Chain A
Amino acid sequence: MSSEPAADPGAHPGPAGASEPRIPPGPAVPGGPAPGPRSPVRHAPVRHALGRISSTAFLALVAAFFALPMLWLASAPFDAHPSITVSVPEFTLANFRAILANPYAAGSIVNSVIQAGGAAVLVVVLAALAAYALSRVRVPGRDVLLYVLLLLSSVVTGTAAMVPIFELATRLGLVDTHLGVILVVSGGLLPAAIFILKDFMDATPTSYEESARVFGASPMQILRHIVVPLVRPGLATVAVWAVASVWGGFLMQYILLRDPDKSPSAVVLFTLYTEGGQPDLPLISTFSLLYSLPVVLMYLFVSSRYGFRFHGGIKQ
């Protein structure tokens, strides 16, 4: 498992001779006395090769474990006779027609776009305004407020709050509306979004804004001309994260929407394979693929453009 071949031990007759007491191989203090026992080092090349082989074998196994469930998604959509088992497909694109034949599938993609897009716009705009104010104006208790909000957003999850949220949405008449989904999921995404954007804004020197201010720019002008262009990577990060969360999210959409005409793809797909009867495999496979593609492409885009920036606690 060593990352490089061990140096030839014969070349360095260490100061610690055989007469010195052997250092117990336990707590190897960094910077402590050098070479102790020799035997493991002497066999290093063999051990190294064995380690390399076993680690490669382990990685192959892991790769197989992770790939196995996804193989079906790669093969079934293009198989003229898709079955539940993975098999080499008899290539066809005809299965994609099934999406159009289903009354809800195509529409659900539109619903997903509306809900994910709406939530992303709302979260980015509101979080940017709030983060800017919190970053630039020192209000007493600001840091505590941010911590409490962040704490709440990880505590009040959809799972923990589905009962009151369902009840609240019912009373506000938000059940079966896109707006209901957008507002509810935005409330959960906002604290972390504010936190991330505040980090970006804090990293921007205030002299840009002060300079604009001396030239007479109003706060809204400063925001539009200076701040937004400067924190664009942060806005993009938050937007992508919000879209991905809502696009893949299930629980809130599932409890807030009863009307299949309003349901996003996550919910429609679930009903496709849980409703009675033989599952329509051509439809499920092609629809799954189509529905997965945007998030995968988005991640590829983000990781190639900005590198995979990764904020702890960003995934919900």
Chain B
Amino acid sequence: MISVHGLTKVFPGGVRALDSLDLEIGEGEFFALLGPSGCGKTTLLRTIAGLETPTSGSVVIGGTDVTALPPGRRDVAMVFQDYALFPHMDVTDNIAYPLRIRKVPRARRRARAAEVADRLSLTELLGRRPGQLSGGQQQRVALARAIACHPRAFLFDEPLSNLDARLRLEARTFLKRLQDELGVTTVFVTHDQGEALALAHRIAVMDAGRVAQVGTPAEVFHRPATTFVASFIGSTPMNLLPGRMGDGALHVAGAVLPVPGDPPGGEAGRGAGDGGDGGEIVYGVRPEYTDLSTTRRDDGFAGEVAVLENLGTATLVTLEGPGHLVQAVVPEGREPALGTTAWAVPRPGRALLYRDDVLVGRA
């Protein structure tokens, strides 16, 4: 539906925001562009919208190359981070604005605005100005305005970032349902991995103007392709520990772990095996997949219990070992005492091996 080929954007002054980037977004897909600030995700969205002109490369929407088309002729609707509701127009006029540009007669566009507003439970607010609306209401008006013009695709720039924490969850559910009902291809930008995991069908994790990984939420969560993705995805950061392969075992932070056999997936074992003796690797395991033992374990990372962070139904435990920190999530009521020694034991099959920052296997 939307595809991007070799897209490069260099801003005057030399900042390379996009670096020959390729991406395919399917029809009806809810697609997230995820990354830290400055990774180029907003530039990519704005380039798809036509607000930025790429230095090279092309943008194709619905089979048409739109690279040279102005934004108004790409048949997409964009919701901005600050919503960009026109402060001097009431809600009706705001929602109907795209139709006004298309010269739809006044009566018809008012009817259409009322219809969309009804769908988003905005009927009561039609006569108000944006300044008189709450953040959540403004967001829904911005969505209504995007819906009103029946675009081929929606582009959302950080659609939830201007809402407070509680409202954000509500709006997230609402947004997911809305996209599901409308079935319109939707691309959204976010820096919040939780938001991306919760909303998107597929996620492109971006780093320094390139796509680090594209995949379903489960894929990027369970098999992050690089250490960058691994450290970016997940509500608690993944443990990434330097290690070495030798003597038929993995030596990581004082623990001796078996070299993975031939796990399902094939390439993982091959990759690990190819490392051979003395290969430097990075061993990654999520705190959620790390169990805590208070008795000595050779396959666990030893450390002193340094921090306990209550997560509600569980507790995040930070162990401080010689030269490394390891985190583990323990169920409520099972927290170790501060200052005691404990062992963090990765669950079998849940750990990932990286060489030169790239995923090579699962252990």
Contact = CB atoms under 8 A, between A and B. Distances in A.
A217 B81 CA distance: 20
B49 interface: yes
28 contacts: A205-B82, A207-B80, A207-B81, A207-B84, A208-B86, A210-B78, A210-B84, A211-B78, A211-B84, A212-B97, A212-B101, A213-B70, A213-B71, A214-B49, A214-B51, A214-B71, A214-B72, A214-B76, A214-B77, A215-B72, A215-B97, A215-B149, A216-B71, A216-B72, A217-B72, A225-B86, A226-B86, A229-B88
Nearest to B97: A215
B248 interface: no
Contact of B87 (A210, A221, A225, A230): A230
Interface of B: 49-51, 70-74, 76-78, 80-82, 84, 86-88, 97-98, 100-102, 149, 155
B81 A213 contact: no
Contact of B73 (A207, A208, A216): A216
Given A214-B51, A216-B102, A225-B100, 10 more contacts: A207-B84, A210-B78, A210-B80, A211-B80, A213-B72, A214-B74, A214-B77, A221-B101, A225-B86, A230-B86
Contacts of B155: 214
A229 B102 CA distance: 20
A213 B86 contact: no
A1 to B, nearest CB: 44
A208 B84 contact: yes
A226 B100 CA distance: 13
Nearest to A228: B88
B147 to A, nearest CB: 12
A215 B101 contact: yes
A217 B49 contact: no
B84 A215 contact: no
Contacts of B87: 230
Contacts of B81: 207
Contacts of B100: 225
Interface in A215-257: 215-218, 221, 225-226, 229-230
B101 A210 contact: no
B80 A215 contact: no
Contact of B50 (A214, A225, A229): A214
Interface residues on A, range: 10 to 19
B198 to A, nearest CB: 25
Contact of A215 (B51, B77, B88): B77
A215 B98 contact: yes
Contacts of A212: 86, 97, 101
A213 B98 CA distance: 10
Nearest to B93: A225
A216 B70 CA distance: 8
A62 to B, nearest CB: 43
Given A215-B97, A215-B101, A216-B102, A205 B72 contact: no
A214 B87 CA distance: 18
B78 A214 contact: yes
Given A216-B72, A216-B73, A230-B88, A210 B51 contact: yes
A205 B84 CA distance: 8
B351 to A, nearest CB: 44
A214 B74 CA distance: 8
A212 B146 CA distance: 11
A213 B84 contact: no
A221 B72 CA distance: 12
Nearest to A204: B87
6 nearest A-B residue pairs (beta carbon): A216-B72, A211-B84, A215-B98, A207-B84, A229-B88, A207-B80
A217 B71 CA distance: 9
Contacts of A216: 71-73, 98, 101-102
**Interface core residue of B71, B74, B100, B149 (most chain A CB under 10 Å):** B71
Contacts of A214: 49-51, 71-72, 74, 76-78, 155
A288 to B, nearest CB: 40
A211 B73 CA distance: 13
Contacts of B70: 213
A16 B131 CA distance: 55
B299 to A, nearest CB: 53
Contacts of A229: 86, 88
A215 B78 CA distance: 8
Contacts of B80: 207, 210-211
A213 B155 CA distance: 14
A2 B228 CA distance: 63
A2 B61 CA distance: 72
Contacts of B82: 205, 207
Nearest to B49: A214
Contacts of B50: 214
Interface in A157-192: none
Interface string A22-41: 00000000000000000000
B121 to A, nearest CB: 22
A225 B49 CA distance: 21
Nearest to A210: B51
Contact of B51 (A208, A213, A230): A213
